Amino acid sequence: MNVYLDNAATTPMAPEVIEAMIPIMRDVFGNPSSSHSFGRQSKAYLETSRRKVAAFLNCKPAEIFFTSGGTEADNMALLTAVRELGVKTIITSPLEHHAVGHTAEALKMFPEVDVKYVTVDSKGHIDLEDLENLLKAGDSKKIVSLMHANNEIGTMIDLKQVSEICRRNEAYFHSDTVQTMGHFAFDLQDLDIDFITCAAHKFHGPKGIGFLYINQKIKATNLIHGGGQERGFRGGTENMYGIVGLAKAMELAYEDVEAHQQHVQGLKDYLIDELKEYFGEDVDFHGETDPSRSLYTVLNVCFPKTDKAGMLLFTLDLKGVAVSGGSACSSGATKGSHVLEGIGADMTRPNARFSFSRYTTKDEIDYAMEQVKEVFEKTLA
């Protein structure tokens, strides 16, 4: 049996998404910028997809800018803030995905731009008092960039609460919502935020496509110079089949989002119970596990100490169970996790991130659990 439990890294495409993309690849090949009928046909798909996405988020189609995925969208949000909005202080956390963390550090290349890090606790929660103090310090223009849910440990922020703090301190607010888009409902009329980001491959859409939402209050222009696509913000011929696939993936994700949530949360709770039953007090979980503040698709397990910790993921993989340790996007790499380090986790204990999708079954969890037991009883003993 092969069990894929690395859905926070990427998800398999939904069959309906593939079906929606095939006619675009095969038949709808016009360049949406062309004025002839082929171009107009593509343009119609492009704008219908944009309208669909905007309707799910309750925002305006003109606020959606398609990008090559989450990384580009995060880069663009912060770059826009610095280059176009006069932001000099980026306030973020040490637990952000590198798409934000490395971008923030790189933006120090602009004169007077500085990055401040908010304090986090051992479960990865943001210290909101510290955030408020950082916002009050000095009179530079500021942007807060805090991820909605952490991709490694699942800990979530309350977007509305952070938005209110930002607004009362007159700061811009960006949230990396790559792990929550398609998994939680968003109402952008209710949530006052400047930038959020999306990657379709995290909810059974294609890779290499995502978007940046930019609140219409912000006038952003010309980030990627070129042919004037995406209303001049991002030049380059649009990834048409990706965009159509993204819109279809979103439709499928939001059609039944509560049922997906319940199904996946049920599997996560079940795995937690199974692990506790087998390991007793010797098993822990990195990050928040309280469902009201934790991403239901992610469970980061801190296993009992063993001398052969380095063999855990490798042996599980040999037995057909795909999970990851450290960051999703660098799984397979030997570099330690900045997130686990950032929450002060005991790095001598082996850890594995199990991440689920709506396609994950209880049988798969049972199989994975059997393999975990065998690995601890045989290989790691």
Ligand X SMILES: Cc1ncc(COP(=O)(O)O)c(C=O)c1O
**329 given a catalytic annotation:** yes
30 vs 242, which CB is nearer to ligand X? 242
198 vs 275, which CB is nearer to ligand X? 198
Nearest to 66 by CA among 244, 252, 216, 254: 244
Candidate list 166, 198, 302, 329, residue with the active-site label:
329
Footprint on this chain of ligand X (rule: CB under 6 A): 69-71, 74, 97, 99, 147, 151, 176, 178-179, 199, 210, 328-329
* Strand order through the sheet with 298-302: 284-286, 298-302, 351-355
Say how far apart CA 373 and CA 365 lie, in whole Å. 12
177 vs 315, which CB is nearer to ligand X? 177
The residues, any chain, with a CB within 8 Å of residue 318's CB and separated by 6 or more, are none
Q: Cite the beta strand spans of the chain per DSSP E.
A: 3-4, 64-67, 89-92, 114-117, 142-145, 172-175, 195-199, 210-214, 284-286, 298-302, 321-322, 351-355
Q: State the minimum distance, in angstroms, from the CB of residue 295 to ligand X.
A: 10
21 vs 147, which CB is nearer to ligand X? 147
Tokens describing residue 359: 């396609």
Q: State the minimum distance, in angstroms, from the CB of residue 10 to ligand X.
A: 8
Contact 224, 232 (CB under 8 A): no
Say how far apart CA 241 and CA 13 lie, in whole Å. 13
295 vs 369, which CB is nearer to ligand X? 295
Q: State the minimum distance, in angstroms, from the CB of residue 329 to ligand X.
A: 4
Number of neighbouring beta carbons within 10 Å of residue 348: 8
The SS3 call for residue 210 is strand
Contact 351, 300 (CB under 8 A): yes
Count of positions (residues) in the chain: 381
102 vs 276, which CB is nearer to ligand X? 102
71 vs 294, which CB is nearer to ligand X? 71
Q: How many CA atoms lie within 13 A of 347 on its CB side?
A: 11
Q: State the minimum distance, in angstroms, from the CB of residue 166 to ligand X.
A: 19
Q: State the minimum distance, in angstroms, from the CB of residue 294 to ligand X.
A: 15
Contact 306, 317 (CB under 8 A): no
- The separation between the first and the last C-alpha atoms of the chain, rounded to the nearest angstrom, is 24
Say how far apart CA 359 and CA 11 lie, in whole Å. 10
Say how far apart CA 134 and CA 130 lie, in whole Å. 6
Q: State the minimum distance, in angstroms, from the CB of residue 22 to ligand X.
A: 22
Tokens describing residue 134: 């950082």
Q: State the minimum distance, in angstroms, from the CB of residue 70 to ligand X.
A: 3
Catalytic residues: 329
